[in-house]
Structure 1
Amino acid sequence: MNDQAETLRLKMMQSKGRTARSLAVISGKGGVGKTNFIVNFASSLRAQGKSVIIVDMDIGMGNVHILLGASAKYGLREYLTGERTLEEVVAESRLGLNFICGGSGLETVLEWTESRFQRLISAFETLQQQYDYILFDMGAGASESAIELILSVDEIIVIATSEPTSITDAYSMMKFICLRDPEKKFFIVNNRVLPKEDGNEAFTRLQFAMRKFLNKETTLLGALPEDAAVHKSVVAQQPFVSLYPNATISRRMNAITANYISSGTDIDSKETSTFLGQLKKLFARGRG
C-alpha cells in the first residue's frame, strides 16, 4: 500500500504540459453494460499507451471498483469536504488502472458552495495534467446533476442495445442533451449483440431519429457481441480485454478503442479540452 501511495504521489507531481480529454459514458437505461464497457475501454486505452482515470459518477450504484477487483476507502465526496487529499481518493486496481469513486456529495453541483466547487475544479485541473483521458461513468438516466457534468465534457459515448426500450431511452437522453448543446459530439456503441442480430441495429435507429428530428449526426464506434467471456471476467473481477485478450469481444473492444483514437479525438491531435471552462460557466449560470 505504501508503494502504491508513493506511485500516486509521483503521478500527481508530474506534468505532461497538455490537457486531458474528458469523456462521459452514458445510457438511457440501466442494464445495458455501461460500466463494464468503460472499465474495458479504459483498459484498452491504457494498453494502447494512453494514461487514463475513471471517475465513477453513478451515485449510490457505483461498481467500477467491483469490476476492477479493487477497493477504495474514500471517494470524491471526502476530497470535496476537505477530509482527504486528492492523492488519497485516487485508487489503483491490481492491473494499474486508476479510478475515483463518487459519492452522495456530488448530487447537485449547482447548489454547492463556492469553496466546494473550487475544490472540484482544482481536482480536475490536476487530473487533466496527469492523464490523457478522464472517463466519467454516469448513472443511467438524465438527472439534473448528471446533465450538468455531461454538458461540460468534450465527448459522449452512448451505450445501447437492440432492445426497443434501450433505443428509446438512449434517444431521449441524447435529445435532452442535444437541445441544451447542439454541438455536443456523440459516439454510439451497440452492446450485447446476439449472433442473429444486425450489429448496427441500435445505431441505425438512433442515427435515423437524430437526423430526422434534430438534424444531428452521430458516429458509430462499433458493436460488442454477447459473450460468455463477459460473465467470466465479472466473476474474476478483471477486465475481459486483459483476462481473455484473444476473445472476439476483446478484439472488438480494441477495435472500438482504435476507432475512437483515430476519429480525431486523440489528445495529441485535437484542440485543448474545454471541459473546465464549460463546467465553470454552468456553475456561474446556476448561481446567477
Structure 2
Amino acid sequence: MSDQAEKLRNRLLSNIPIKEAKTLAVVSGKGGVGKSNFSLNFSISLAKQGNRVLLFDLDIGMGNIEILMGKHSALSIADFFAGKALLEEVVFQGPQGVEYISGGTGLSQLIRMDKESIAHFTTSLHDILRKYDYLILDMGAGLNEETLAILLSVNEIFVITTTEPTSLMDAYATMKYIHLADSSLPFYLVVNRAGSVKEGQETLSRIENVLGKFLGRIPVKLGIILEDKIVQEAVKRQIPFVLLNDRSQAAKGMVQIIEKYINKESYNAEKRDNRSFTARLKQFLFER
C-alpha cells in the first residue's frame, strides 16, 4: 500500500498534464441556508445536461447529502481516511446518474483532515477524477488551514446565502477570508429562499456592491431560488426537489442557474488558470 501511495505521489508531483473534472466548492459561511440541498440539486441538474458528476460531501461525520437523496451507503469518506477502504470503494450511485461520496452521519469519532490525510486523498483522487466532468465539493461549516487548502485548489467557489443579514455577513466574511488567501478565485453567488425575485436581486446587488467596495471584486451573480414549500416537502420525502416537482418555483430557479452557469463565458466572469484541482492541491501541500 505504501509503495502504491508513493507511486501516486510521484505522479502527482510530475508535470504530466492529465485532464480532470472541473472542481466547484459550495460554501455558505452560515449553516442552515440550504447549502447541501443546493449542492445536490445543482449536481442532478448538471447531470441531466449530460455531464458526469461526482458529488462529495465534505462535512465529515455530519454529512446530510445521503439523507436528502434517501440513500444509505455502507461506506463513507471517513472509512477512506481511517484506512478501511480505497477511495473508489466509497463512491456510490445517486439519482440521475450522479455519483457521490458520503460524508458519513452520526459518527462517534470525527475524522480530522490533516495535511497528511489530504495528501493521501489527493493522490487517490487523481486517477478517478478523469471519469467526471464536474466534482462538486459540499464543504462543511467553518474554515481552517486544511479546508482552506482545498478551497484554494478548486476552479470556482459557489457562495450560498439567504436574504437574512446574519447570512449575508457570514457569506461576506467567508469570501473575504478566501480572497485574502487567493484573489483570483471566482465567486459565484446564489441567493436561496428569497421571498421574491426583487428581494433576491436586491440581495445579490448588495453583496456585489460590498465586494466591489471593500475587496475590489466583481462576483458572478448566478441566480435566485425562491422560497418554495415544495423544498420542505422534498426534504421530508428525501427526494431532490428538481425531481419531486420540476415545475416548482425552486426547480425553475435551478434551471435558470444551470443555464447561466453553462453559458457563463458570455458573462464578465473572473478568469483563473486552467490547472487541475489535484495539481493546485499538490502545489499547496508539497511545494509551499
TM-score under structure 1 normalisation? 0.84
CA-CA distance at 1:196 after TM superposition: 7.9
CA-CA distance at 1:278 after TM superposition: 1.5
Counterpart residue identity of residue 172, structure 1: A
Say if 1:23 and 1:155, in contact at 8 Å, map to a contact too.
Answer: yes
Question: Matched residue pairs, number?
Answer: 262
Q: Within the alignment, does 1:56 sit opposite 2:61 as a pair? A: no
Counterpart residue identity of residue 274, structure 1: S
Q: What fraction of aligned residue pairs are identical, expressed as a percent? A: 37
Per-residue CA deviations over 1:137-158 (Å, capped at 9, x if unaligned) read: 0112323332221111110100
Say if 1:55 and 1:135, in contact at 8 Å, map to a contact too.
Answer: yes
SS in 2 for 1:134: strand
Q: How does 1:1-288 map to 2 (within 5 A)?
A: 18-93=19-94, 95-102=96-103, 107-110=112-115, 112=116, 116-195=117-196, 198-264=199-265, 272-284=274-286
State the match for 1:14 in structure 2.
none
After superposition, the Cα gap between the structure-2 partners of 1:216 and 1:238, relative to the gap in structure 1 and judged at 3 Å, is same
What is the rounded CA distance, in whole Å, between the counterparts of 2:174 and 2:207 in structure 1? Answer: 11
CA-CA distance at 1:106 after TM superposition: 5.5
CA-CA distance at 1:88 after TM superposition: 1.8
Cα RMSD (Å): 2.2
Q: Mark the runs of 5 or more structure 2 residues left unpaired by the alignment.
A: 1-17, 267-271
Per-residue CA deviations over 1:233-273 (Å, capped at 9, x if unaligned) read: 111111111110111211110110111111139xxxx9744
CA-CA distance at 1:79 after TM superposition: 2.2
SS in 1 for 2:127: helix
SS in 1 for 2:221: strand
Counterpart residue identity of residue 279, structure 1: L
Say if 2:61 and 2:78, in contact at 8 Å, map to a contact too.
Answer: no
Per-residue CA deviations over 1:2-36 (Å, capped at 9, x if unaligned) read: xxxxxxxxxxxxxxx84210000000100110000
After superposition, the Cα gap between the structure-2 partners of 1:196 and 1:132, relative to the gap in structure 1 and judged at 3 Å, is closer
CA-CA distance at 1:60 after TM superposition: 2.9
Say if 2:52 and 2:97, in contact at 8 Å, map to a contact too.
Answer: no
After superposition, the Cα gap between the structure-2 partners of 1:121 and 1:189, relative to the gap in structure 1 and judged at 3 Å, is same
SS in 1 for 2:42: helix
TM-score under structure 2 normalisation? 0.84
After superposition, the Cα gap between the structure-2 partners of 1:140 and 1:197, relative to the gap in structure 1 and judged at 3 Å, is farther
What is the rounded CA distance, in whole Å, between the counterparts of 2:242 and 2:197 in structure 1? Answer: 24
What is the rounded CA distance, in whole Å, between the counterparts of 2:22 and 2:265 in structure 1? Answer: 12
Say if 1:160 and 1:202, in contact at 8 Å, map to a contact too.
Answer: no
Q: Mark the runs of 5 or more structure 1 residues left unpaired by the alignment.
A: 1-16
What is the rounded CA distance, in whole Å, between the counterparts of 1:60 and 1:206 in structure 2? Answer: 31
What is the rounded CA distance, in whole Å, between the counterparts of 1:71 and 1:96 in structure 2? Answer: 16
After superposition, the Cα gap between the structure-2 partners of 1:240 and 1:20, relative to the gap in structure 1 and judged at 3 Å, is same
CA-CA distance at 1:102 after TM superposition: 3.0
